[in-house]
Amino acid sequence: MNIDSIPKKDFDSFCEASKNTVCPFTNKKCFKLSRAKIGICALEHNNMKQIICPSLFPRKDIFDSIANDVIRTKNYTVFSEVKLGDNYLDFLMVDNNDKNNFCGIEFQALDTSGNYRWLFGEKVKPFCINWKTTKKTIMSQLITKTNMFLKEKRKLVLVVQKTFLDYIHFQNLKNSLDGETIILAFDYNNNATSNYRFFSVNFADLITSFSDDQVCLNDIIDKTIKDNRKIANI
pLDDT exceeds cutoff 80 at 5: no
Residue 98 has a pLDDT of 94
pLDDT level of residue 3 (50, 70, 90 thresholds): very low
pLDDT exceeds cutoff 60 at 154: yes
Cβ contact 145:91 at 8 Å:
no
DSSP, res 104: E
* d(C-alpha 103, C-alpha 126), whole Å: 39
* d(C-alpha 135, C-alpha 211), whole Å: 11
* d(C-alpha 68, C-alpha 167), whole Å: 27
Torsions phi, psi of 92, nearest 5?
-120, 120
Residue 209 has a pLDDT of 72
pLDDT level of residue 203 (50, 70, 90 thresholds): confident
Cβ contact 37:30 at 8 Å:
no
24-28, 107-111, 198-202: which has the minimum mean pLDDT?
24-28
**Regarding predicted confidence, which is higher, 105 or 58?**
105
What digits encode the pLDDT tens for the residues 31-82? Answer: 766 555 566 788 777 778 888 888 888 888 899 999 999 999 999 999 989 9
**Regarding predicted confidence, which is higher, 118 or 138?**
138
pLDDT level of residue 219 (50, 70, 90 thresholds): low
Q: What average pLDDT does the chain have?
A: 78
pLDDT exceeds cutoff 70 at 214: no
What digits encode the pLDDT tens for the residues 162-187? Answer: 989 988 888 889 998 988 899 999 88
User: Hey, where are the domains in the chain?
Assistant: 3-226
* d(C-alpha 70, C-alpha 78), whole Å: 14
SS3 113: strand
Cβ contact 30:18 at 8 Å:
yes
**Total-model pTM:** 0.77
DSSP strand pairing (87-95 vs 76-84): antiparallel
Residue 13 has a pLDDT of 61
Residue 113 has a pLDDT of 79
* d(C-alpha 62, C-alpha 66), whole Å: 6
Cβ contact 65:74 at 8 Å:
no
**What number is the average pLDDT over the span 178-206?**
83
pLDDT level of residue 6 (50, 70, 90 thresholds): very low
Cβ contact 150:180 at 8 Å:
yes
**E-strand stretches of 35-177:** 42-45, 48-51, 76-84, 87-95, 98-107, 112-113, 128-129, 155-161
* d(C-alpha 161, C-alpha 110), whole Å: 9
Q: Is 101 exposed, middle or buried (0-12, 13-18, 19+ CB in 10 A)?
A: middle
Cβ contact 78:64 at 8 Å:
no
